[in-house]
Amino acid sequence: MSLPDPAYGLVCMTVGPEVRFRTITLTRYRMLKPEEREATLLNLYADNILRVRAAAAFCAARGIRLYRLSSSLFPMSDLVEDGTGAAVLDHLKPQLLEVGHAFEDAGIRVLMHPEQFIVLNSDRPEVRVSSLRAIEAHAGVMDRMGLARSTWNLLLLHGGKGGRGAELAALIPDLPDGVRLRLALENDERAYGVDDLWPVCQATGVPLVFDAHHHVVHDSLPDLDHPSVRQWTLAARDTWTPPEWQVVHLSNGIDGPQDRRHSHLISHLPTAYADVPWIEVEAKGKEEAVAALMRGELAGVVQPVVGSGEAAAQTDPIRKQPTKRARKSAAASETAEPEPLNK
């Protein structure tokens, strides 16, 4: 029996001009007079919200049902000494909620993968404090959008400070609900392989987003079809509730499996991913790479990219969002908005 096609995900923006976002540097922001800052951020944030709405339309028109929301949409909203950005976001909450509804109504799952400077298990107290504030701010954006507080709408982090998996596992239960209920962890190429994160996920109930390319680089494996790739794809699935929500990352190295740099298109899809329902495509070609995969094409070869029958596990993926209008209950459960943060 053949399996349903996976949902390939677009990461943040397009190579073309369709989905692009504005920003402002901290230096430029601090040059503004205090009375200019609110108007500047209001203009920038409102414009970026419209651009996110355009991203929803872009994905819907092309049948893309997985989208990674940029974590850099609202610069200066995380300054500890200046709450202007956070106040502007509160003012724009109705517009943010409309954007969240646009994704939901189009059946598009939304994730966020914040910056790597967020290290919850750092051995430096000031980094732990700023990291918690930062992840709370990202959760606040998702709350304002009405996105469910569940792993349907992930907040994805790496393991953080190497060798401190036990510290990471210990702090997760005490995270604010807006963070904890959305949290997932991803293996990386250096500090945390899948065997390092697996005990953390087992102990905390946090799902594991498996990245086969990171695994190959971390463990110095020959290619993406090494038997351990399938082993960890299935092991990661066991951390997901329900398993049909499993997300994995897909990328290829420019100069081969050990190259950490992402290629423009996807030339090799691991056979281990044959039955994975949700696949985020981390390729420099962005929408071009996603479109090729949706057509069943790998770079340089035209062929089906989804396995069937014996290559697949027992899962029949049901790629459906939680109950319609679950956003109402999510909105009702919102806590106070997070403090503005320091980068």
* Strand partners of residue 281: 250
In the chain, % of residues over pLDDT 70: 86
Of 320, 328, 331, which is closest to residue 108 (Cα–Cα)? 320
Q: What is the pLDDT of residue 3?
A: 53
Q: What is the pLDDT of residue 4?
A: 63
Amino acid at 175: L
For the stretch 201-215, pLDDT in tens is: 999 999 999 999 999
Q: Are strands 109-112 and 301-302 parallel, antiparallel or unpaired?
A: unpaired
Q: What is the pLDDT of residue 80?
A: 83
Domains of the chain, CATH where assigned: 7-330 (3.20.20.150)
113's torsion region: left (phi>0), alpha (psi -120 to 50) or beta?
beta
The 10 Å Cβ neighbour count of residue 243 is: 18
Q: Is residue 139's pLDDT more than 50?
A: yes
> How is residue 272 annotated by DSSP?
G
Q: Is residue 242's pLDDT more than 50?
A: yes
Going by C-beta distance under 8 Å and a sequence separation of 6 or more, which residues neighbour residue 48? 21, 22, 73, 74
Instruction: Examine residue 340 and say whether the peptide bond preceding it is cis (omega within 30 degrees of 0).
Output: no
Q: What three-state secondary structure class fits 69?
A: strand
For the stretch 174-233, pLDDT in tens is: 999 999 999 999 999 999 999 999 999 999 999 999 999 999 999 999 999 999 999 999
